[in-house]
Amino acid sequence: MVEAAMLWNEPNNLSHWNFEIDRDWSIFARTINLASDAIKAENPRLKRALGGISPIDPSFIETMRNHCVLSHVDVVAVHGFPLDWNHWSIHEWPSKLAEIQAATDLPVWVSEVGVSSFGAEEVQEFGLKKTAELLIGRAERIHWYSLCDLPRAWPATTRHREAEGSSYYRHFYMGLLREDGTPKPAIGEFSNYTPALGICQWFHFQDHRLCDAAAWFKKLGVKHVRTGMSWADSFRPNADQWFDRQMLALSDFDVTLTFCFTPEHLGILPNHTSPPKDPRQFADFCARMVRRYA
């Protein structure tokens, strides 16, 4: 079942929202508030989560409060990758979480946390164990990112790509499974922490990994799954059939369904990070997906 609708992904990260053209966050706030109200009108019992923030920044939460966003959502969320991209130690996880918990009375979820095997697979195994030790019991939802490595032939969703150097290539090694589907050492530890640990797995349009991933979730004892439903993909041919397949494959799990990514023809700029020209169109998409799946 769908247990939560998450509105956007890493909004305070330039790779996912172009705040260069929305410097006061007013377009983002209106986009989220309209979408949240539309979701509530479809299903008032469905939890509405503000998309996980990265970096973890209490001032962004305060900005959202000032724009009345926190009164439109039920949950806020954070993302953290201290062994790969963040400039803080993995041991700081409890204090990083506490910073956001002090900034809001809403529950704080960890909707993405992970460690790449870019440098060594043993580092990922250590990172999984330490993450579980530091976060289980401190957050209602924890989604490990991710089950599958990103195939090298696919682009990572980030604005600057290869110009980021090794930071870009770490995107391809976040999975517990290698690209060929073989398990890495950390996967042997993962089931020790389920169902307290869930998984975040993004599926690309018509993703060939979908059914195998669902089978692995069951094998690992996963109960909570976070994934995405792209507003941009909704304009592809046969989009609804793909979304139906995706949700059918995940029907045995409690799903946090993330709505994000602006269609090129509906953005102020022609890319997925752009604020929409009309935020009501994003709200309409969210309402339609909730009506269909939740």
Residue with tokens 């956007």: 8
Cβ–Cβ < 8 Å for 149, 177: yes
Cis peptide before 195 (omega within 30 of 0): yes
What are the structural domains of the chain? 2-293 (3.20.20.70)
Under 8 Å CB-to-CB from 244, ≥6 apart: which residues?
A: none
Comparing C-alpha atoms, which of 19, 9, 101 is closest to residue 67?
A: 19
pLDDT digits (tens, 9 = 90+) for 160-184: 555 555 677 788 999 999 999 999 9
Q: Is the bond leading into 263 cis (omega within 30 degrees of zero)?
A: no
Residue-wise pLDDT tens digits, 221-261: 999 999 999 999 999 999 999 999 999 999 999 999 999 99
Condensed to tens digits (0 to 9), the pLDDT of residues 107-152 reads 999 999 999 999 999 999 999 999 999 999 999 999 999 999 998 8
Contact 77, 111 (CB under 8 A): yes
Q: CA-to-CA distance for 217 and 207, rounded, in angstroms?
A: 16
Mean pLDDT of 50-58: 98
* C-alpha atoms less than 13 angstroms from C-alpha of 145 in its C-beta half-sphere: 22
pLDDT recorded at residue 161: 58
Q: What is the mean pLDDT of the chain?
A: 95
CB 16 within 8 A of CB 273: yes
Cis peptide bond prior to 167, omega within 30° of 0? no
- The model's pTM is 0.96
Lowest-confidence pick of 39-43, 157-161, 288-292: 157-161
Give the tokens for residue 169.
Answer: 């290539």
pLDDT of 61 > 60? The answer is: yes
Distance, in Å, from the CA atom of 258 to the CA atom of 266, rounded to the nearest integer, reads 19
